[in-house]
Structure 1
């Protein structure tokens, strides 16, 4: 029997992010669990990836877990430190293979809201805004959305489109002149993709202990469900040890919040 505690939901989310990354890719990293997943990938199955941080740090040497993409740790002995606008330019000219971003709301078509909750006439919350979200979502060929899945965070339609996904579904993104689009959504419940024709969010695989019913209960719209739903293999004890002792030993992002 394993002496290593099973992964908590945040650790499982970080592990799933890592599994989206292939060796030798240039990876655009956002704040939070995307940083954890990217560093975990580099320490395990993808040692030759290049980490590009939103604020401009290019592939810093190994050090402490950054607090954000603007943390000094993201610049540690980097071969180059660029301005944020230049890092967005890397996306635009194709020097990014995969990008990760989060949001306060993600809807059935992969549109992301980081601007406001409610309407401008009836504001409930004012959020930080786009930052680099729109640039990442509009300019990269492959983006992965990351979020904690609850019905209010996964509504049928976001209150405000900060970063376009597939807009109204179908070919509406293409008609808007945007390339690519989100290829997946990673949450504590599992991994989702988008049905090729309608661009509706669809279950791709679920985490251990989850079910279609749980996934639907955590969502504010009807998920598309394939005939067979695979389950994701949990991380090995070795990977969990690396995650907990080497990647985020202080539990900055993978420690579950106390009640």
Structure 2
């Protein structure tokens, strides 16, 4: 059995959620790493779209930004950004939006704007990009981020991208077409929205992780499903593909692995 890190477990678990043949709108950082791992392993026919215009991108190394030439050079085609959003996303042609976050709450709402007061923030974050539109219009959304008190908070300082708002049928009240987030994948566990309340609960613990660890690293009173599964360990094929991807990326970008943001 190969040894692996918690970050590798997180990336592998997220990659497995991406179905083969799905059209996926990919965020830079951890989502891009997981989506490209899926393309290299379980989902070779996944169609990766980035907001700068590449459709069917097949990068050999992870992009440092949406403007990375690797995306356009390896894509089936490149279209204007406006077409990506209007025709593909708002037109209902995106199966999965794959997003990262600085902070997330129990209803899958995302903050990537500020920590602290908006007008006098403690930290000014990278901002929204296309994430609000992806969260609103993609058929489904997957969220990937490392788990801790600073990232899993009871109340967001700013809602950049809406998940289930205040819970229940909040999305329906807003008239949003997408189903919203269907999974939050972390380095400790997998969470999914509870039926009716749409509050995220733990449905799978990664190997060796305890409930206490999850509770300690969550800023709200996290709840667990009646039957909590154990996430399957990464296979040698998955780990080899992930490590090779990271090594190629580090070599191409002078040590940066293009997926830790």
TM-score (norm 2): 0.91
SS across alignment from 1:204: strand
Match of 1:67 in 2: 64
CA distance in 1, matches of 2:204, 2:120: 37
Match of 1:104 in 2: 102
Structure 2 vs 1, CA of residues 125 and 100 (structure 1 numbering), >3 Å: closer, same or farther? same
CA distance in 2, matches of 1:175, 1:214: 35
Tell me the CA shift for residue 65 of structure 1.
2.2
Residues 86-120 of structure 1, C-alpha deviations (whole Å, 9 max, x = no match)? 22221111211111111111001111111111123
Tell whether the 8 Å contact from 1:11 to 1:254 is kept in structure 2 after alignment.
no
Unaligned runs of 5+ in 2: 251-255
Match of 2:140 in 1: 142
Tell whether the 8 Å contact from 1:103 to 1:113 is kept in structure 2 after alignment.
yes
> Which residue of the other structure, out of 14, 18, 38, is the alignment partner of 2:35?
38
Structure 2 vs 1, CA of residues 71 and 62 (structure 1 numbering), >3 Å: closer, same or farther? closer
Match of 2:210 in 1: 211
> Which residue of the other structure, out of 152, 156, 160, is the alignment partner of 1:162?
160
Tell me the CA shift for residue 121 of structure 1.
5.3
Tell me the CA shift for residue 62 of structure 1.
4.3
Match of 1:132 in 2: 130
CA distance in 2, matches of 1:254, 1:87: 23
Match of 2:196 in 1: 197
Tell me the CA shift for residue 78 of structure 1.
2.1
Tell me the CA shift for residue 68 of structure 1.
2.4
Tell whether the 8 Å contact from 2:203 to 2:227 is kept in structure 1 after alignment.
no
SS across alignment from 1:188: coil
Tell whether the 8 Å contact from 1:10 to 1:254 is kept in structure 2 after alignment.
no
Match of 2:22 in 1: 25
More displaced stretch, 17-26 vs 65-74? 65-74
User: What CA RMSD, in Å, does the superposition of the two structures yield over aligned residues?
Assistant: 1.8
CA distance in 2, matches of 1:238, 1:78: 25
CA distance in 2, matches of 1:61, 1:213: 40
4+ aligned runs moved over 3 Å, structure 1: none
Tell whether the 8 Å contact from 2:62 to 2:258 is kept in structure 1 after alignment.
no
CA distance in 1, matches of 2:133, 2:16: 24
CA distance in 2, matches of 1:15, 1:49: 16
